[in-house]
Amino acid sequence: MSKLVTIYGGSGFVGRYIAQRMAKAGWRVRVAVRRPNEAMFVKPYGVVGQVEPVLCNIRDDASVADVMQGADAVVNCVGLLARNGKNTFDSVQSEGAGRVARIAAASGVSKMVQISAIGADVNSDSDYARTKGEGEAAVLEHMPEAVILRPSIVFGAEDGFFNRFAGMTRMGPVLPVVGADTLFQPVYVDDVAKAAEAALTGDVDPGVYELGGTEVRSFRELMTMMLDIIRRRRSIVNIPFFVANIMAFGLEAVQVLSLGLVPAQITRDQVRNLRHDNVVSDGAKGLADLGIEPVAMETILPDYLWRFRPSGQYDAIKESAKNLRA
């Protein structure tokens, strides 16, 4: 019988790519999510019955254990960008990761991959980065042979980074950003999935791997690249950190007063994160150590950002028509 992997958060942005790769590798895939009815799109990743979405609450021991029964390996992709009800940074990224690792160790699971993030640090002033660091420590406490993957900003067709800012360009002539000089090293989502697959199916040394793409660019430079791809002219305006903090405080207050109906577009914790560069550390193990050559942004971004062009899919046709008239 083929091996079984349980992927917590397997219908999310990164998780779905890992699920797809593990199915292609011949594994049975159990996609553990809060709302399995909304994750039915994962089923065609394999043959009938090979990939199954199942209900799981990462904050509950019994729920985590139930979906891990019979698994040969586990992957934890669950993470938050902002607090959402009972799903806090501590309950999900710290306690949740530790819970998965503790139950995996007790169940005799042989391999575990934890999706973390560059900047994870138990001493960070950011709740996001602090709990990512605590989650890593909890995983290694129970599963010392685990592989921890720390990607920089992840890009791909379903990303919440380039898609979000490209969408903002439709709202006016100005594109506001916080931390315009902060450096990032964006990595393609399928390269992260390849890294997880290598850790589960290959002979990979345990430990932490920091995953970055081919280029290090500032936030401003990334936005300039994006604007060039979508063929729009916008003024990139940097919002000072102290102003961003005031804005974030107000937006968070609106979210609380609206009982969550109006989500904050940016939080104070995200502002704290944007103060720090998000690039692979000197001497850190990375994609090369996993035998993976990163894909460049320029080869992927046009494939999904074209819809934000002024004429969408017809932009290229209009340009060709201009050349014919010339």
Examine the pLDDT at 126 and tell me if it is beyond 60. Answer: yes
- Asked whether residue 258 is domain-assigned, the answer is no
Phi and psi dihedrals of 133, rounded to 5?
Answer: -65, -45
Examine the pLDDT at 13 and tell me if it is beyond 90. Answer: yes
- Asked whether residue 21 is domain-assigned, the answer is yes
- Asked whether residue 206 is domain-assigned, the answer is yes
- Asked whether residue 246 is domain-assigned, the answer is no
Mean pLDDT, rounded, for 189-196: 98
Distance CA 308, CA 175 (A): 14
Domain boundaries, position 114? 4-154+186-213+278-294
- Asked whether residue 232 is domain-assigned, the answer is no
Number of domains in the chain: 1
What pLDDT score does 270 carry? 95
SS3 content of the chain, % helix, strand, coil (to 5): 45, 15, 35
What pLDDT score does 81 carry? 83
**Where would I find the H helices in 174-217?**
189-201
- Asked whether residue 221 is domain-assigned, the answer is no
Mean pLDDT, rounded, for 288-314: 92
Contact predicate 17/75, CB 8 Å: no
Distance CA 314, CA 232 (A): 15
Mean pLDDT, rounded, for 137-145: 97
What pLDDT score does 325 carry? 58
Q: Chain-wide mean pLDDT for the chain?
A: 94
Residue 204 pLDDT level (bands cut at 50, 70, 90): very high
Q: Which residue has the higher pLDDT, 222 or 257?
A: 222
Residue 30: which CATH number? 3.40.50.720
Distance CA 254, CA 259 (A): 8
pLDDT digits (tens, 9 = 90+) for 258-276: 887 888 889 999 999 999 9
Sheet holding 4-8, edge to edge: 51-55, 28-33, 4-8, 73-76, 111-115, 147-151, 207-211
Report the relative pairing of strands 73-76 and 4-8 from DSSP bridges: parallel
What pLDDT score does 52 carry? 97
What pLDDT score does 65 carry? 97
pLDDT above 90: percentage of residues in the chain: 87
